[in-house]
Structure formats: structure tokens, C-alpha cells
Amino acid sequence: MVNTVNIQTVKKVNPRAEAMKKAWYKFSRNPLSVLGLVVVVGVIFVAVFATVLAPHPEDAGLSIHMTETFQAPGLAHLAGTDEYGRDVFSRILIGLRYSLAIGLLVLAISVPFGVLMGLLAGYYKGRLIEAIIMRFTELFMSIPPLILAMVICTMFSSKYIFAAIGIAVAWWPWYTRITYNLVTSLSNELYIVYTQLSGVKMMKIIIQEMLPNIMSPILTKMSLDMGSIIITASSMSFVGLGVQPPTPSLGEMISSGIKYLPNIWWLTIMPALMVVLVVLGFNLLGDGLSDVLSVEEK
Amino acid sequence: MKKLKKAVCLLLAVSMAVLAGCSGGTSATPTPTEQASSEPTLLRATCTATPETLDPARGTGENDLIIFVNLYESLVVPNRETGEPEPFLATEWTTSDDGLKWTFKLRDDVVFADGTPMTADDVVYSMERMLALGEGYAYVFTDILGSVKAVDTYTVEFDLKSSFGPFLTALTCLKIVNKTLLVANTVKDNSYGDNGDYGKEYLLTNSAGSGPYVIKKFTIRESVDMVKNENYWGTLPAEAPDEATFTQLTDSATTKMMMASGDIDLAHGHQDNETLQALLTTEGVKSAVVSEDGLNYFMMNTKKAPTDDVHIRKAISYACDYDALIAVYGDVEKPNGPVPPNLFGADNTIQGYSYDPEKAKEEIALSKYADNLADYPVELAYIQGNGDTGKLTMLLASNLEAVGFKVTISEVPWVLFCNNEAAVDTSPNVTNAFCSANYPEAGSLLEFKYASWTTGNWNQNEWLQDATFDQMITEALKTVDNTERLQKYSEIQKYLVNDVVPSVYAMVSATKPSWNSKVFTWPVSEGKMYASSEYNYYLANFVMLK
Amino acid sequence: MQNTFVMLVKRAVHFILVLMLLSFLIFSFIRLIPGDPVRLSLGVMAPEETVQRMRHELYFDRPLVVQYFHWLQGVVTKGDFGQSLYTHHAVSQDIATYLPRSLELAFYAAILILIFGVLVGTVSALFKNTWIDNVIRFLSYLGVVTPPYVIALFLLILFAYTLKWFPIGGVPSIPEEIVKTGMPGLDALLAGNWALYGKVLKSLVLPTLSISLGSIAYQARIHRSSMIENINADYIAFARVAGVSSTRLVMKHMMKPSFIPTFTIYGLQVAALLGNAFLIEVIFRYPGFSQYSLNVILNKDPYSIVAVTFVFGVIFAVVNLLIDLGVSWLDPRIRLKASE
């Protein structure tokens, strides 16, 4: 924002930058948080440059090597080969791209919307708007996601972006529900009541006072949801929504690999490890951020 | 704070211990011990799905028939080797010269499982019931059957509206049900007037046949339990299993574990190759290839660019690496034409297509899409979760790409797949599926696959709508004389392979059941397969070893 | 009390409106989704008349509104949810068969998730950023991201196949005459058959663990972060300064409010278990409600889909109500405000 230099109070020079600096200091003090950041940046980097980094990028397409099927992980193929003789490592890298995109897209749609709805419902507790919002969350929770996916698939197309929309439509009510409960609890806190009494606008209260206070559980849920979304996305293919073969996605690789367990374990375990890595990164980062946020409140 | 931490840890530890104790405690019970020889023998088999009902007038699927052949019987049965109809409940029959009147003499010693003797009335009831329901095999008879009547207690007469060559073969589809029992168990005031619900409700969970086995318990999509029919009129060997359970089990990891630990004796034949190899590592487990009355087809839409050009269809037939496809599936035959070699009426002299990428390229050059092939991507589709068809489609796609086609693949859920097939525009260029004859004869398969009146369904992505073919198949089905009919079938097969090229004939449809040879033997163990595959599961032929 | 009563009545009215809207939505969705369920059920070769007759019997040849109100009338007057094309039984009969099994499984899972989720989360928060916390955190990431069916297979391979502690899937069959609730364990208990109950319990251990491990991990993470949030809250610091004993502090002031997100997510997760355990039910051969609901959706079996969604509607409405009641118990100030 605007960097106004106030002569009278030197301490307040550029308060935002100051706060950021402090937050970063706090953040960087925790090695786990930094590790989280590194993993997330690394994972995104890998996803973006997957086709360059993958040893056999053509294996994400129609290439088939029937003479090299089911090779165990080794030097030739770091994560082994699958039932078509394709390099699992390359497919994980390229599959990461779609899975990450779906995870981020779903969160980008469902979290802001869900949290906003929760804030509104919580703030207007006892009014009609609360009842409407909360009953609609129930409605959307009750519709099986696969039905939503089928409808979306029929009305639009089966592109994976619509898979993301389908999952997001089923996902937002959870955020609404949790935000709503936090807000109804928070709005009884003394400082919120005082702020309200002192005539501060409602929007301002929500954004400045409430939002930061509920960020921690929301961030935790978001970072946990990365993994669940990647897995859920694979079940969307039951109804033909999502990435189509031969294009890989991590969830689809895991679910199509399970029938080869236990002897051919790498088809399941290797992509699952990648999902673990992604979720680990986002969680460490999320924890770090929520630590910083809750300290800022002090 | 410290105290509390300790307390919480203790609580956690205690509850862990309790949980561990639980599992430990239950583990003390020993695993089931081997059965004593005096106990009744039990065969435990798996299936991909249980039948939806025990009503023989409604089911036509492989899973239905495997159960039905044990519960119900028919006037004639296909011969084990040739598939030609042989006497069973009927001892002899006569045909009028025009082939319109068929008279059957019935055995007089047949009783149903409840002890009621079987008479001509039951046969009439069974046929009328099937036609009224309109499901299952009804369509085979609907258009050709004029009337059926009981001449005397043990004589039945069928009057046909038009001559129908495969009538006798088709009668293997008519399972005889116990009229007295069903009438007694009819729900009144239902869809079928005086006949109420025709006993449909009763047959959802009960059987009403004369076969060597009866239903003990049937839970849809879970399991079918059968026990020996104590009133069986024929001979039922003591070595045959006293009880048999077919459990629905699709998960391959569970199948492997259960076979290895001796919890199942016979695994259904639709395992993928990797699973089968794993199953065979258990000592005593064997497997066999059981051919079915059908093929795996790549069905090419003859009404949609670019597969509307016969040269493109020929190119695809040449581009296909048949050996690679068969390697995926295991030990099965490659057919040369549209009919599997063991089906009654197959012409095995036909020279089909073989893998030849150069010829494929030549055919592409001859087609009207030679210059702008890239503008016409070939769209391949397969049914989601339908065994290895996805793998086969991927292989063909990669073959097609290699000779210069541009391809797209889609994995389509069953409901959507069927819906897409309802119209020419939404039917993809190429689909892959297995198709089988409805009654064991070439004519059944050819009609089902290519006749104009079977378009709009998953079984005919070709949209052939070819007047010549329609004429030929109608003629052939009308021909009563076997040799003459076979001759006509042969001409149809040549016409399809040489002139029309509607499909790629990838491989003979087969199942690969695996079983524990220490528990039982069955004719399949000795390589004796029935031409109609469901008869392999005729439990009376099984010999339990324990 | 008065207020709670008014609230409940209000909620009941809303509840009925939601269910009606929900079922109408699903009916229209089903019309929207391509595919003819009747043709699918009868097969390719069934004559057109048979198909038409069935379509007529099922009200599929009438306008949507007519079909809907016919259905609604059946539900209200006879409790008749229509006929399933997938099982050929009355839909209400199917629900009565499959739902209790899943409810029983969810019940045991709910207990595990509550106890261990909270316990592990609390430990993790109290030992924040120590090695204990880090180990728990890592294990919970693992738990959260491993798909339940992978967990199920590992448990099955280890405990059932290798160690032979448990059966490889399946549930002991309950004799017809003692089936009352449809829940295998409860039926055995009601009949006083302890041996059978033990057997049922034994067969339920692995499926229960498979569906709950992920949720336990999830719950633990949520609980940890909301506890940490509360440790830092002003009033805790205030109370500490005021000399409130630390055990009391944790129990009363930290535990209770921390439960708000935990409890919210917990309720929803348990409800969702009923629909998400599809592969678990397949792997353990425990045909329950998830498997039924997925299959009817994939087969586009119209009346079953509506009924399944209806059941989910009821469950989520009840769970949401319980959450609201629970939250107001955890934080009495909410209750006060509502009654003002």
C-alpha cells in the first residue's frame, strides 16, 4: 500500500512492511514451516516443468511398451513400470500437474465461497438469511457428489476443470458449516461485542476481527483437504468426469493400481508417496502460516 | 500443565492397549478346520455379479445362466462338442414339411423340486409367461411364434407364424417352470391381468424348476446358495457338491487372498492376467481357458467420418496388432471373421485381416481422407470398468497412431455409453466390447451384431443399416434345412469380411476360471468344454474330493 | 426450554422444505442426465412394448411435476419410495436392508474417531512443536492422504491374510428369525447371542479401522490447531494470570471452545462415512449403503437415487441439528444470544 512516512512516530514507519518482516522472521524461525514452503514451491516447480523433468514424457500419452510391463523400481525406471510398460515416475510427475491443479482450483472456488457464506450466516444469526444459507448447505451436503458430477458432465463437458467445479460444489458447505460455528461463537467474545458497540461497520468487523481469528482451523482444513481432493477427483472418473486416459492423475494412478496389490506394489505406493509429499508440504506451510497469524493477533 | 500431559498420555496408552487387547482376544479363535468327510460337501465359488432374479424368463447374462442351468431344465440341450440340440425333457420331436409346426413328446418321469410331475401344461405356461413378460429371451420367439398348446399330458405343439431355422437351438433358452407352484404364489391384480404378476415376485428369491439343485438362499448382489434337489428325477451323483455358494466378488486383491487361504474353491473367469498368474501360485490351483459364444469386437461406426470410408476401416483392420491384443488377454484364439470358430455355423475357411502396418498405410492412401487425415481424429471409446477392454482400446489407439491416425480415447461410464449409442451422431468412431450369441448359433450373433433392427444399442456401434445384409440374414434365419442355412451363414460372413468390414475381430471371447484342484474336479479339468459355456458349471458333473 | 422448542419446530419445518426441494431437484437431475434406465434394465433386445409398459408403470412417460407428486403422495401416504430397477425390490425395502449395516459400521467408527481424534489432537497440541507433536503430525498426514481402500488392503493383507487374526472380509450370516434391526451386531445382541455378536464384531474390526483411521488423523489435526488457537486466546492468558489451576484451565476453558470446529467436522465426517465407504464395503464384502448408493447412481436407477439422496438429506439435517445443539452446549454464550 502507500508508504507514508510519519515524522512524529518513527516506529510506525511502514507498519505493513514491518509486520510482514516480523511475520517472516517468526515463520523462518520454524524449520518445519520453511520446509513446508520449500516443498510446496518445489512441487509446483516440478508440476510446471513436468514434461521437461520427466525422463519419458511420452509415457503420459499413448506410448505403450508391452515388452517392459511391470518392471520393479530400479535405475532404468525409478518408480517401476505399469501394465503398459510405461514409466511410472514420468507419469507421477505429469499426473502431479493435473492433481495439483484440481486441488488448488477446488480450494480456490470452495473456500472463499464457503467461508463467506459461513460469515454471513453466522453474523446474521437468527435472521432469515441465516436459515436460508444453512439449509442450503444441508441441501448441497445431501446431494451425492457423483450426481452433481453427472449433471455438470451433461450440461457442460467432461474436461477436468468441470471435475474441479463439481467437487467444489460438493465441498463448500463444509467450510460454511465450520465458519458459521466459529463465528457464532466468536461474535460473543467481548472484544467483538465492544467493537460492535463502538459503531464499527459490520463488514469491517468481519474482515478485520473475525476472519483472522478463524483462519487457523480453516487453513488446517484447507491443507488437509489437498489430499482428500486429489483422491476424490479420481472417483469422479466413475461417471466420466475428469482427466481421460491415457493422461495420468495421481488419484487415478492409485486407484487403478490397487488391483495389482500386493505383489506389484509400486503402482499404488509410488503415486501415493507423491500425494503424501504434496499434503505434507501444504500442511507444514499451513501450520506455519496459522502460527504466524495467531501471533499477529497478540 | 505437566500433570495433565501425563494424564492424557496415560489415557491414550490405556485405550491403545484396550484396542490391541480386543484384536488380540479375538485372534485366539482358531481358523476353521477342515471338514470331516461325513459333513455335507460345500463348493465355494465367486461370480462377477449374482443374477438379479431367479426368473429364467428374465435373465440372459452369463451369471444368470450359470445359476439357471442348475435350477431349471429345457426341452433340448446343446451337445457338448457340436452344440447341436439333443433330447432332454423332450424325448423326440417332429416338424411339418413347411417347418411351421413342431410337435414335442415329453418325458413322463420328470418331477419338479416340490414333487409335482411335469406335464405339457407347464411347457405351455413357461412359453406364454416368457412372451407376456417380454424380457430375457422373449424376443427370439415373439415375432415367429403363433401359438403353443398341450395336445395331451406329454405332447406339446408349437405353431410358428413364419419358418425359423434355429427354432430347435433357440428352445435351449426356454426353461420350464413349475406352473402349479407359480400360480399358487402369484400376486393378484398386477401387470398381467388374470395372471397377476405371473409369479415374478416369488421368483425374485425362490426357484421353481426341475433341475438337480434348488435355492437355499439368494441375496441379490451378494450370494446364491444352492443345495441338492432331493426329489431330482434323474441321477445326481453322490460326489456332486451337496451345497454350492456363488458369492459376488470383484475385488482382485481379496480374491487372491481368499484363494490362497482356501476360503474359495472356484474363482470366476474374468480375472485380469496378472491376477490369474498370482492365483496360480497357490499350490493346487489350476486354470483353463473356456471359450464363449462370442468375440471381442472393435465396432467401427460406418456412418461417421472417417470410419464411413471402407478403406479407413480396412486400414484399421490392418493396423491392429492382433498378437499384442491376445497377449494382453492370455491364451485365446484369433478369429478370422465375425463368428467365433466353435459356434454352430461359423465359416472357418475365411481369411481375415492380419497385422500389416504397410497395407494399412496403403489403404489410408486409397481413402478419401488420404490428404487431410489429421482433420478427422478417430474417436475410440470403451466402457468404464469393463475388464480389459480399456487395455485393448489403448493398444489399438497406439497402433493407429503409428500408421498416421490422430486418435482420442474416452473411458465412458456404462449408462452414458449406452446413451451415446442411441444415435449415430453421438456414437464414437470405434468402440470396444465383447458380444455373445443369444442362442448358440451363428445366426443369433450375426443378427444381434449387424441387423438394422438392433441399432441404437451398445452392441452395434457399426450402424450398418445395410439392406443387403438385412435381406441375407432374414433369409438365412428362415431356412429350416441345416446344411442350407449354414451355407447362407457362410455367405454372410464372407460378405462382411470382404466387402463391408464393419468391425475388427480382435479375439474369441473366453473366460479363465481358476479352481483349487485339491477340492474338486470338473469336466473342464480334463479339457472337456461345452460349446455353450454355462453348461460347464453344471454342478452335477462336479466331483468333490473332500 | 421454550426457546429450544421453538427452534426445533422451526427446524422441523425447514427440514421438510429442504427434503422436498432436494427430492424435486434430484428428480429433475435424473431427467437431465442422459440414459434410459428402463432400457438398461430390460436389455437390448426387449421389445418396445415391454419398455413402454415399464416406463408407464414407473411414471416416466408423464411430465416431471406429475411424476414428482405421484411419488410424494406414495411417500407421504404409504411410505412407498417406488420400485428399484437395480434390485427389483421396493426401494424402502432396499434401504431397510442396506442402511442399518452401514449405520452399525459408522457407529463403531464414530466412537473410534471421537476418542482417538480428540486424544491424539490434544496430545499434539499440548506438546506443540516437540518430537511427539511432529511424529503425530507426520502420522496424521499419512493417515489423511492414504485412501481408505489402500489402508483396507494393507490391514487385510497384514491382519487377515498373514496373521489370520480376522476373517478375509464377509460378515457372519444372521439367522432370518432374529433379524430385527438389520444391524448384524445389534440383532445378535438383541437375541442374546453373545457368540454371534463376538463373531460379527470380529468381522467388523478391520472395516471399522479402515474407514476411521483417516478420519482420526483428520480430526486430530483439526483439534490440534483449534486448541492451539485457544491456548493463545486472550481469556486463557487472563485466566492464567488470575491463577486458575492449569488442569482446570485446560479442561474448562481450552477444551470446550476448542471442540467447536472439532465437533462440527466430526459430525459431518461421520455422516459422510455412510456414503464414502464404497470401496471398503466392496473389499470387505459388506454390502452396505455406500455400495448401494454408488451402484444405483451408476445404473441411473431413478427411484433408488431419490431415496438415497433423501436418506442423506435426513442424516445431514439431523447431524447439523446435533452440531448446533452441541455447539450451544459447548459455548453457552451462543444459547444466551439466541434467546434474547
Residue B343 maps to a domain:
yes
Q: What CATH number does the domain containing B183 carry? A: 3.90.76.10
B429: domain range? 291-510
How many domains are contained in chain B? 3
| Cα dihedral C210, C216, C217, C222 sign | positive
Is B485 found in the same domain as B374?
Answer: yes
Report yes or no: A246 at the B interface, CB cutoff 8 Å: yes
Is B459 found in the same domain as B311?
Answer: yes
Residue B50 maps to a domain:
no
User: Quick check: B418 and B274 in contact, CB under 8 A?
Assistant: no
Is B468 found in the same domain as B449?
Answer: yes
Is B391 found in the same domain as B280?
Answer: no
Asked if A224 lies within 8 A of C144 by C-beta distance, the reply is yes
Which residues from chain B sit within 8 angstroms of residue C250, using beta carbons? 1, 4
Domains with residue ranges and CATH for chain A: 24-293 (1.10.3720.10)
* Radius of gyration of chain B, Cα coordinates, nearest whole angstrom: 27
Asked if C268 lies within 8 A of A141 by C-beta distance, the reply is yes
| Cα dihedral B401, B404, B405, B406 sign | positive
pLDDT score for A252: 84
Q: How far is CA A30 from CA A43, B57, B204, in A?
A: 20, 72, 65
Report yes or no: B282 at the A interface, CB cutoff 8 Å: no
Amino acid identity of residue A61, one-letter, is G
Report yes or no: B272 at the A interface, CB cutoff 8 Å: yes
Of B22, B15, B43, the closest CA to residue B546 belongs to B43
A·B CB contacts under 8 A: 56
Question: Residue A223 above 70 pLDDT?
Answer: yes
Rounded distance, CA B436 to CA B434, Å?
7
Identity of the residue in B142, B191, B249 whose CB atom sits nearest the CB atom of C47: B142
Is B346 found in the same domain as B472?
Answer: yes
Most confident of the ranges A211-225, B69-83, B483-497: B483-497
Kindly state the percentage of chain B with pLDDT values over 70: 93
What is the CB-side half-sphere exposure of residue C253 using CA atoms within 13 A? Answer: 17
User: Cell numbers of A218, please?
Assistant: 480453516
Residue B202 maps to a domain:
no
B446-477 pLDDT tens trace: 999 999 988 888 899 999 999 999 999 999 99
Entry field: residues in chain C? 340
Residue of B nearest to C198 (CA): B26
Q: Which of B162, B195, B228 is the last residue of a domain?
A: B195
Is B272 found in the same domain as B358?
Answer: no
Task: Identify the residue with better confidence: A219 or B316.
Answer: B316
pLDDT score for B97: 87
Asked if B454 lies within 8 A of C44 by C-beta distance, the reply is yes
- Calculate mean pLDDT across residues C38-49: 79
Report yes or no: A261 at the C interface, CB cutoff 8 Å: yes
Identity of the residue in B22, B251, B418 whose CB atom sits nearest the CB atom of C40: B418
Helix (H) or strand (E) holding A279: helix A266-297
Q: What CATH number does the domain containing B269 carry? A: 3.40.190.10
Residue B200 maps to a domain:
no
Residue of B nearest to C292 (CA): B221
Closest CA–CA distance from residue C54 to any residue of chain A (Å): 24
Residue B248 maps to a domain:
yes
Asked if C166 lies within 8 A of B136 by C-beta distance, the reply is no
Q: Which subunits sit against C, judged by 3+ Cβ pairs under 8 A?
A: A, B
Identity of the residue in B398, B410, B416 whose CB atom sits nearest the CB atom of A62: B398
ipTM over 0.85: no
Long-range contacts of the stretch C328-332 (C-beta < 8 A, 24+) = C330/C256, C330/C257, C330/C259, C330/C260, C330/C263, C331/A184, C331/A185, C331/A188, C331/C256, C331/C257, C331/C260
Closest CA–CA distance from residue C71 to any residue of chain B (Å): 19
What predicted TM-score, i.e. pTM, was given to this entire model?
Answer: 0.85
Which residues are CB-neighbours of B38 under 8 A, at least 6 positions away? none
Residue B420 maps to a domain:
yes
Q: What CATH number does the domain containing B407 carry? A: 3.10.105.10
Is B518 found in the same domain as B442?
Answer: no
Which residues from chain C sit within 8 angstroms of residue B447, using beta carbons? none
Which residues from chain B sit within 8 angstroms of residue A153, using beta carbons? 416
Residue B528 maps to a domain:
yes
Question: Residue C233 above 70 pLDDT?
Answer: no
Which residues from chain C sit within 8 angstroms of residue B26, using beta carbons? 165-166, 198, 201-202, 205
Which residues from chain A sit within 8 angstroms of residue C268, using beta carbons? 141, 174, 177
Is B238 found in the same domain as B315?
Answer: no
pLDDT-derived band at B36 (thresholds 50, 70, 90) equals very low
User: Cell numbers of C93, please?
Assistant: 425395502
Give B159's strand partners: B101, B147
pLDDT score for C332: 65
pLDDT score for C115: 92
Mutate to test the interface with A, among B250, B255, B256, B274 (most CBs of A within 10 A): B274
Residue B97 maps to a domain:
yes
Of A259, A178, A275, A272, the closest CA to residue A224 belongs to A275
Rounded distance, CA A131 to CA A133, Å?
6
Identity of the residue in A83, A237, A246 whose CB atom sits nearest the CB atom of B409: A246
SS3 B150: strand
Most confident of the ranges A153-157, A197-201, B131-135, C249-253: B131-135
B344-368 pLDDT tens trace: 889 989 988 999 999 999 999 999 9
Q: How far out from the chain centre does Cα B537 lie?
A: 13
Q: How far out from the chain centre does Cα C331 lie?
A: 25
Is B166 found in the same domain as B84?
Answer: yes
Instruction: Report chain C's mean pLDDT, rounded to a whole number.
Output: 84
* In B320-441, alpha helices (H): 322-329, 357-366, 389-402, 414-420
Of A235, A237, A259, the closest CA to residue A246 belongs to A237
**Residue A117: exposure state from Cβ atoms within 10 A (0-12, 13-18, ≥19):** buried
Is B153 found in the same domain as B84?
Answer: yes
Residue of A nearest to C298 (CA): A239
Q: How far is CA C85 from CA A30, B198, C296, in A?
A: 59, 18, 9
Closest CA–CA distance from residue A163 to any residue of chain B (Å): 15
Domains with residue ranges and CATH for chain C: 1-78 (no CATH), 95-338 (1.10.3720.10)
pLDDT-derived band at A7 (thresholds 50, 70, 90) equals very low
Identity of the residue in A64, A158, A238 whose CB atom sits nearest the CB atom of B398: A64
Closest CA–CA distance from residue C336 to any residue of chain B (Å): 31
Question: Residue B29 above 60 pLDDT?
Answer: no
Rounded distance, CA B91 to CA B107, Å?
6
Question: Residue A244 above 70 pLDDT?
Answer: yes
Is B252 found in the same domain as B306?
Answer: no
Q: How far is CA B139 from CA B99, B136, B168, B199, C42, in A?
A: 19, 7, 15, 20, 11
Residue of B nearest to C120 (CA): B12
Is B341 found in the same domain as B473?
Answer: yes
The count of other CB atoms within 10 Å of the CB of residue A18 is 12
B487-512 pLDDT tens trace: 999 999 999 999 999 999 999 988 89
A61-77 pLDDT tens trace: 888 887 888 899 998 89
Report yes or no: A283 at the C interface, CB cutoff 8 Å: yes
Task: Identify the residue with better confidence: C97 or B191.
Answer: C97
Asked if C298 lies within 8 A of A238 by C-beta distance, the reply is yes
